[in-house]
Amino acid sequence: MPRRRPPRDCPSADGPKIEVLRRGTVLWRIHADGRGPTEFRSTAAEQKRSDPVTHGNEGRFDCQRGEYAYLYLAETQAAAFAEAFLRDDVVQDPGARFLRRDKVTRAALSRIELTAAVTLVDLRGAAGLTRVGQDSWLTSSEEVDYPLTQLWAAAIRRWAPAADGLCWMAKRDNLHLAAMVFDDHDPGLRIRGEVVRRFAEPSDLRRRLGLGS
- Read off the pLDDT of residues 76-135 as tens digits, 9 standing for 90 and up: 999 998 888 886 555 455 555 555 666 677 789 999 999 999 999 999 999 999 999 999
- How many H helices and E strands in the chain? 8, 8
Which residues does residue 202 pair with via DSSP β-bridges, in sequence order?
none
- Cα 127 to its chain centre, rounded Å, is 20
pTM: 0.85
pLDDT at 112: 97
pLDDT at 213: 37
CA angle 162, 166, 171 (to 5 degrees): 175
Handedness of CA 202, 204, 209, 213 (dihedral sign): positive
**pLDDT tops 90 at residue 207:** no
- Cα 203 to its chain centre, rounded Å, is 25
Neighbours of 100 (CB within 10 A): 10
Evaluate whether 202 touches 98 at the Cβ level (below 8 Å): no
Please tell me the distance from the alpha carbon of residue 155 to that of residue 106, in angstroms, as a whole number: 33
pLDDT at 139: 95
Higher per-residue confidence, 205 vs 127: 127
Between strands 118-122 and 165-169, the pairing is: parallel
Q: Environment class of residue 145 by beta-carbon count within 10 Å: exposed (0-12), middle (13-18) or buried (19+)?
A: middle
Radius of gyration from C-alpha coordinates of the chain: 17
Q: What is the pLDDT of residues 144-200, one digit of tens each?
A: 999 999 999 999 999 999 999 999 999 877 889 999 999 876 766 789 999 998 887
- Backbone torsions φ then ψ of 176, nearest 5 degrees: -130, 155
pLDDT at 49: 80
pLDDT at 91: 47
